[in-house]
C-alpha cells in the first residue's frame, strides 16, 4: 500500500519518523528539507495521533511561513490549519499580547518600526543634549539592536563598557529603554527579548506554552541569534521534542546577529541528541556539487558532510577572467542574451556587493535584456546616488527645483523646512526659480538662515566655474563629497550600511571617469536614460541580478558568479580573521549551490575602485575548486569599451599547485599585481605620511595582515584610504 512517505529517501524517512527527543537535522542545500518538515508534521498527526494544536513550526519570513502552512494543509487537509506555523516575531507578538501585563506593560502595547525608532532617538538626543557629533542616532540604534540580539541589558552593557564612548552609548540605551516603557512600546528586537523575559520571570506562563507546544520544529536554525535560541530553549525544556533544521555551511548572516554556534553546539545544549544528515541533493548537477564540496571543506568551523546526487554529472564549470569589469559585464549579458531564447527567468547574476550591479544594469539596458534587481533598487534610484546626482544637476541647471530641494539640507546644514517654504513662496510670487530666489535670500526675511543659504549657493557657483573650465568630473564629485561632508554622513546609519552606500558612490565615480573633462551634461543625460527602467513590462521574463546574500533559498538553471577576485570576494576586510573568512567561504558555497545546471565564474584582472584602477588576483575560492571541474575559455577577439580596446583572455594562477602546461607564466596584457610583504615600517600610528597620489595624511591604523601590513590613512584631501604598505609606498614626513 502506497503512502505519502514512499517518495522520500532513506535519510529523509529517518528524519520524518524520528519524533521523540532532540533532533539536529543537518540539511544540505537542495536536499528537500521543507518537504521533510511537512511530512514530519503529517506523520505526527496521522500516525502518532498528536493533536495539531500541540505542534509548533517556526521560521524566519512571512513568505516561508505562508508556504509551509499551504503545504501542510495540502498534505493532510483541514488539520493543518491548527498547527502553529509562524515566524519568530509573529509568535512573540501572540505571547506578549496575552501575558505582557505580567512584566509591567499594558497588553495594548505599540510596536515601533525603524522610522519610529529613529524618531524616538532624535527626541532623546534633543531632550538630553546628546552631542550628535560624537554619537549618531542610527549608530546607537545599531548598538542597541546588537545588545538585544545577545540579550545584553543596558546595565550589563554599562558594566562591560571599555571606554567613554561605550559608556555613553550604554546610558543612551538605558534612556531609550525607559522611554519605550513609558510609551508602552516595543521595538522589533524587544518582541524576542521581552518574550524571553516573560518566560524567565513567569514560570506559569512558560509552563502553559510548554504544554501547548509539545513538538517544536525550527527551520533555518543556522540563522538564529542568541535571543532566539534562548526562546526556543525555554519552550523545549519540558518535553524536549525539538527538531532544528539547518545547514551550518549556509550561515551567512552574522552581520544581522546570527550566531553559527547555535547549530554547531546544539548537541552540547541538549542531551541525547540524534543527528541526521540530508546530503542527497535534488537541485544541482554532480560537477556543481563537487565544486561546492571542495570549497566548503576548507572551513574548520563546520559539521562534516558532503552533498551528492543521483542525477547527471553535468557540464563543467566555466571560468572566465577578463581584462576589466566592463568586459566582464559585457560578456555576461551578451552570453545570457545568446542562450536565453526568450526564457530569461532561468538566468541569474550574483555578486558580492551592490555596487557591482551598475555595469550589469547598464549592459542590460543597452542590449535590451529585461532584468529585475532583487534585494535593492535600481542603482541610479538608490538614495545616495540620487543625492549625488541631484548636486550635479543643480550645478548643471539651476532651474531644476526638484534636485535643489532634495539636497539643500543634505547633509544637514541647518536650513529647515520653514526657511525653505518661505524662499519657495517668494520664488513663486516673483515667478523665478528656487535657486534664483536663494541667491537673493537676504531680502526675504529668513534671519540667520540666509547666511547658510548664501554659503550653499557660493559652493554651487564655485563648482559651476569648474565645469566652465572643463574640470574633471570624477575629481569634481570627490571634491563635492569632501566639501559637503556627505560621505561622513552616510556612516550615521552604522558602519555596514555606510560602507555599502560609500561603495555605490565609488561606482558612480567609476562611471564618470569614462567622460571627458567638462562633459557634465552628457554624463547626466546618459545616466538619466540608463535609469529609466520603470516603463518595462513587470510581467516580462527577466534575468535576475542580486547579491549573494539575497540569493539564499533560491535556485536557477544558470548562475553567473561575478567578481571572483581577491579583495572583492573574499573582501579585503574578511581576510583579517579566520571566522570572517569562513563566513565569506560559506557565502561562496551558497552562490555555487544556487545553480542547477550551469555555473559560470567570472573575474576581472583590473577593476576601477573609487576612480582608480586596481589589479586583482583570482579569488582563492576559485583556486579551491579542482582543476578537472573547470573549463577555461580563451577569447582572442578584441572588443571595444568606452573608446578603448581590450583583448579577452584567461589565466589560472593556481596557488601552491603545479600549473597546467597550457597556462603561461606571463600575462599578455596589463600589469600583474603582486603584493610584496614589507619586513618593517618606518612609520607608526599617529605619524604623518605622504602618498604619491593622495598627498599628506595621518596614519590611523596598521594591521599585520596575511599578505602585508594593511595601513589605514586619513588623507587631507581624499579622506580615509586603506592599502597594503608595499603597494602604497608611504613616506614618513
Inside any domain, residue 392? yes
Determine whether the annotation assigns residue 29 to a binding site. Answer: yes
Closest CA to 394 of 402, 404, 408, 406: 404
Inside any domain, residue 303? no
How confident is the model at residue 112, as a pLDDT?
76
How confident is the model at residue 633, as a pLDDT?
62
> What mean pLDDT comes out for the span 118-144?
87
Distance CA(522)–CA(526), nearest Å, equals 6
Which residue reads 567561504 in cell numbers? 585
Q: Helices marked H in 552-657 — which ranges? A: 578-592, 620-623
Closest CA to 86 of 73, 71, 67: 67
How confident is the model at residue 243, as a pLDDT?
96
Instruction: Give the pairing of strands 274-278 and 242-246.
Output: unpaired
Number of structural domains in the chain: 5
CB distance 359 to 329 below 8 Å: yes
Within this chain, do residues 441 and 477 fall inside the same structural domain, yes or no?
A: yes
Determine whether the annotation assigns residue 301 to a binding site. Answer: no
Inside any domain, residue 671? no
Inside any domain, residue 648? no
Q: What are phi and psi of 112, to 5 degrees?
A: -90, 130
Give the Å distances, CA to CA, from 86 to 63, 71, 82.
10, 14, 12
Beta-carbon contacts of 290 under 8 Å, excluding residues fewer than 6 positions away, are 626, 629
CB distance 428 to 435 below 8 Å: no
Inside any domain, residue 336? yes
> What mean pLDDT comes out for the span 346-360?
91
Percent pLDDT > 70 in the chain is 89
> What mean pLDDT comes out for the span 688-712?
81
Residue 692 has pLDDT above 80, yes or no: no
Inside any domain, residue 299? no
Percent pLDDT > 90 in the chain is 43
Which three three-digit cell numbers place residue 135? 554619537
Within this chain, do residues 266 and 224 fall inside the same structural domain, yes or no?
A: yes
Residue 294 has pLDDT above 50, yes or no: yes
How confident is the model at residue 434, as a pLDDT?
84
Residue 348 has pLDDT above 90, yes or no: yes
* Catalytic positions: 33-34, 219-220, 250, 594
Within this chain, do residues 132 and 266 fall inside the same structural domain, yes or no?
A: no
How confident is the model at residue 528, as a pLDDT?
60
CB distance 15 to 38 below 8 Å: no
Distance CA(152)–CA(146), nearest Å, equals 8
Within this chain, do residues 89 and 127 fall inside the same structural domain, yes or no?
A: no
Distance CA(252)–CA(337), nearest Å, equals 31
Within this chain, do residues 495 and 431 fall inside the same structural domain, yes or no?
A: yes
Model confidence pLDDT, tens digit, residues 544-582: 999 998 888 889 999 999 999 998 899 877 777 888 899
Split at pLDDT 50, 70, 90, the class of 127 is confident
Within this chain, do residues 77 and 164 fall inside the same structural domain, yes or no?
A: no
33: Cα separation from own chain's centroid:
25
Q: Which residues pair with 701 in a beta bridge?
A: 712
Determine whether the annotation assigns residue 28 to a binding site. Answer: yes
Q: What is the CATH number of the domain that holds 389?
A: 1.10.486.10
Model confidence pLDDT, tens digit, residues 438-464: 999 888 888 888 999 999 999 999 998
Inside any domain, residue 257? yes
Q: What are phi and psi of 722, to 5 degrees?
A: -120, 135
Find the helix or strand (DSSP H, E) in which 264 lies: helix 261-264
Residue 661 has pLDDT above 70, yes or no: no
How confident is the model at residue 467, as a pLDDT?
85
Within this chain, do residues 505 and 557 fall inside the same structural domain, yes or no?
A: no
Within this chain, do residues 468 and 506 fall inside the same structural domain, yes or no?
A: yes
Split at pLDDT 50, 70, 90, the class of 156 is very high
From 482, 514, 529, the end of a domain falls on: 529
Find the helix or strand (DSSP H, E) in which 509 lies: helix 495-512
Inside any domain, residue 79? yes
Within this chain, do residues 227 and 265 fall inside the same structural domain, yes or no?
A: yes
Residues in the chain: 733
Distance CA(722)–CA(144), nearest Å, equals 28
Distance CA(717)–CA(534), nearest Å, equals 38
Determine whether the annotation assigns residue 348 to a binding site. Answer: no
- Residue 72's domain comprises 10-99+193-280
Within this chain, do residues 412 and 276 fall inside the same structural domain, yes or no?
A: no
From 152, 183, 214, the end of a domain falls on: 183
From 142, 165, 183, the end of a domain falls on: 183
Model confidence pLDDT, tens digit, residues 64-80: 888 888 899 988 888 88
DSSP symbol at 708: S
Give the Å distances, CA to CA, from 52 to 77, 83, 89, 279.
12, 5, 21, 29
Give CA angle at 322 (320, 323), nearest 5°.
165
Model confidence pLDDT, tens digit, residues 6-24: 899 999 999 999 999 999 9
Split at pLDDT 50, 70, 90, the class of 150 is very high
How confident is the model at residue 431, as a pLDDT?
76
Determine whether the annotation assigns residue 30 to a binding site. Answer: yes
Q: What is the CATH number of the domain that holds 147?
A: 1.10.10.160
482: Cα separation from own chain's centroid:
26
632: Cα separation from own chain's centroid:
30
Within this chain, do residues 87 and 197 fall inside the same structural domain, yes or no?
A: yes
- The residue among 88 and 718 whose pLDDT is bigger is 88
Closest CA to 31 of 18, 15, 42, 19: 15
Model confidence pLDDT, tens digit, residues 598-647: 999 999 998 887 667 888 889 999 999 999 999 876 443 333 323 222 22
Determine whether the annotation assigns residue 27 to a binding site. Answer: yes
Determine whether the annotation assigns residue 284 to a binding site. Answer: no
Q: What is the CATH number of the domain that holds 339?
A: 3.40.50.300
Determine whether the annotation assigns residue 294 to a binding site. Answer: no
Model confidence pLDDT, tens digit, residues 530-539: 543 333 333 4
Which residue reads 571566522 in cell numbers? 579
Distance CA(582)–CA(671), nearest Å, equals 30
Distance CA(442)–CA(647), nearest Å, equals 59
Residue 596 has pLDDT above 90, yes or no: yes
Residue 232 has pLDDT above 50, yes or no: yes
Within this chain, do residues 445 and 333 fall inside the same structural domain, yes or no?
A: no
Residue 110 has pLDDT above 80, yes or no: no
Amino acid at each position: 500500500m502506497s503512502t505519502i512517505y514512499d517518495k522520500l529517501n532513506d535519510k529523509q524517512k529517518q528524519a520524518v519518523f524520528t519524533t521523540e527527543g532532540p533532533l539536529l537535522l543537518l540539511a544540505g542545500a537542495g536536499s528537500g528539507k521543507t518537504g521533510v518538515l511537512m511530512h514530519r508534521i503529517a506523520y505526527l498527526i496521522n500516525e502518532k495521533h498528536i493533536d495539531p494544536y500541540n505542534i509548533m513550526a517556526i521560521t524566519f519570513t512571512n513568505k516561508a511561513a505562508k508556504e509551509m502552512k499551504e503545504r501542510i494543509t495540502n498534505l493532510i487537509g483541514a488539520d493543518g490549519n491548527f498547527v502553529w506555523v509562524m515566524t519568530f516575531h509573529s509568535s512573540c507578538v501572540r505571547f506578549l499580547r496575552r501575558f505582557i501585563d505580567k512584566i509591567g506593560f499594558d497588553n495594548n502595547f505599540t510596536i515601533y518600526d525603524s522610522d519610529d525608532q529613529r524618531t524616538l532617538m532624535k527626541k532623546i538626543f534633543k531632550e538630553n543634549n546628546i552631542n550628535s557629533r560624537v554619537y549618531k542616532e542610527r549608530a546607537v540604534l545599531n548598538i542597541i539592536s546588537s545588545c538585544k540580539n545577545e540579550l545584553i541589558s543596558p546595565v550589563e552593557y554599562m558594566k562591560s563598557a571599555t571606554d567613554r564612548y561605550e559608556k555613553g552609548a550604554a546610558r543612551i540605551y538605558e534612556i531609550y529603554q525607559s522611554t519605550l516603557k513609558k510609551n508602552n512600546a516595543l521595538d522589533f528586537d524587544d518582541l524576542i527579548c521581552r518574550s524571553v523575559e516573560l518566560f524567565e520571570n513567569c514560570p506559569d506562563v512558560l509552563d502553559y506554552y510548554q504544554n501547548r507546544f509539545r513538538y517544536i520544529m525550527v527551520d533555518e536554525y543556522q540563522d538564529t541569534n542568541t535571543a532566539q535560541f534562548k526562546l526556543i530553549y525555554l519552550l523545549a525544556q519540558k518535553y524536549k521534542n525539538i527538531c532544528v533544521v539547518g545547514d551550518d555551511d549556509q550561515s551567512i548572516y552574522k552581520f544581522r546577529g546570527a550566531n553559527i554556534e547555535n547549530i554547531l553546539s546544539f548537541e552540547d545544549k541538549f542531551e541525547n541528541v540524534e543527528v541526521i544528515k540530508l546530503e542527497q541533493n535534488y537541485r544541482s548537477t554532480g560537477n556543481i556539487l563537487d565544486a561546492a564540496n571542495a570549497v566548503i571543506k576548507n572551513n574548520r568551523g563546520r559539521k562534516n558532510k558532503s552533498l551528492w546526487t543521483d542525477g547527471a554529472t553535468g557540464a563543467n564549470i566555466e571560468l572566465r577572467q577578463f581584462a576589466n569589469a566592463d568586459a566582464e559585464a559585457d560578456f555576461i549579458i551578451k552570453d545570457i542574451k545568446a542562450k536565453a531564447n526568450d526564457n530569461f527567468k532561468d538566468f541569474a547574476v550574483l555578486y558580492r556587493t551592490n555596487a557591482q550591479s551598475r555595469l550589469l544594469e547598464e549592459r542590460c539596458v543597452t542590449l535590451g535584456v529585461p532584468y529585475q534587481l532583487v534585494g535593492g533598487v535600481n542603482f541610479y534610484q538608490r538614495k545616495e546616488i540620487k543625492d549625488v546626482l541631484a548636486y550635479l544637476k543643480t550645478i548643471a541647471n539651476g532651474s531644476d527645483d526638484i534636485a535643489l530641494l532634495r539636497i539643500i539640507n543634505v547633509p544637514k546644514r541647518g536650513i529647515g523646512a520653514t526657511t525653505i517654504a518661505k524662499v519657495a513662496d517668494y520664488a513663486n510670487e516673483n515667478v523665478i526659480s528656487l535657486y534664483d530666489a536663494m541667491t537673493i535670500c537676504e531680502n526675504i526675511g529668513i534671519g540667520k538662515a540666509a547666511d547658510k543659504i548664501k554659503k550653499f549657493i557660493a559652493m554651487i557657483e564655485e563648482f559651476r566655474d569648474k565645469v566652465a573650465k572643463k574640470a574633471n568630473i570624477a575629481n569634481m564629485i570627490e571634491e563635492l563629497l569632501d566639501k559637503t561632508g556627505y560621505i561622513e554622513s552616510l556612516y550615521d546609519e552604522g558602519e555596514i550600511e555606510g560602507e555599502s552606500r560609500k561603495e555605490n558612490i565609488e561606482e558612480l565615480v567609476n562611471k564618470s571617469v569614462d567622460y571627458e573633462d567638462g562633459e557634465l551634461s552628457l554624463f547626466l543625460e546618459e545616466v538619466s536614460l540608463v535609469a529609466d527602467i520603470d516603463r518595462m513590462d513587470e510581467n516580462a521574463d527577466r534575468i535576475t541580478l542580486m547579491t549573494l546574500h539575497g540569493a539564499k533559498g533560491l535556485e536557477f538553471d544558470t548562475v553567473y558568479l561575478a567578481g571572483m577576485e581577491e579583495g572583492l570576494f573574499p573582501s579585503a576586510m574578511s581576510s583579517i580573521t579566520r571566522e570572517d573568512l569562513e563566513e565569506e567561504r560559506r557565502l561562496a558555497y551558497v552562490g555555487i549551490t544556487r545553480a542547477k545546471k550551469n555555473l559560470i565564474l567570472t573575474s576581472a584582472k583590473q577593476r576601477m575602485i573609487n576612480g582608480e584602477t586596481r589589479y586583482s588576483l583570482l579569488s582563492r575560492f576559485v583556486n579551491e575548486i579542482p582543476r578537472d571541474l573547470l573549463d577555461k575559455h580563451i577569447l582572442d577577439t578584441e572588443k571595444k569599451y568606452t573608446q578603448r580596446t581590450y583583448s579577452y583572455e584567461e589565466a589560472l594562477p593556481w596557488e601552491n599547485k603545479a600549473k597546467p602546461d597550457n597556462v603561461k607564466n606571463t600575462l599578455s596584457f596589463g600589469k600583474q599585481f603582486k603584493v610584496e610583504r614589507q619586513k618593517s615600517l618606518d612609520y607608526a600610528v599617529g605619524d604623518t605620511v605622504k602618498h604619491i597620489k593622495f598627498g599628506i595624511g595621518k596614519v590611523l591604523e596598521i594591521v599585520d595582515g596575511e599578505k602585508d601590513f594593511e595601513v589605514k590613512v586619513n588623507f587631507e584631501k581624499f579622506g580615509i584610504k586603506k592599502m597594503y604598505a608595499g603597494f602604497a609606498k608611504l613616506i614618513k614626513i
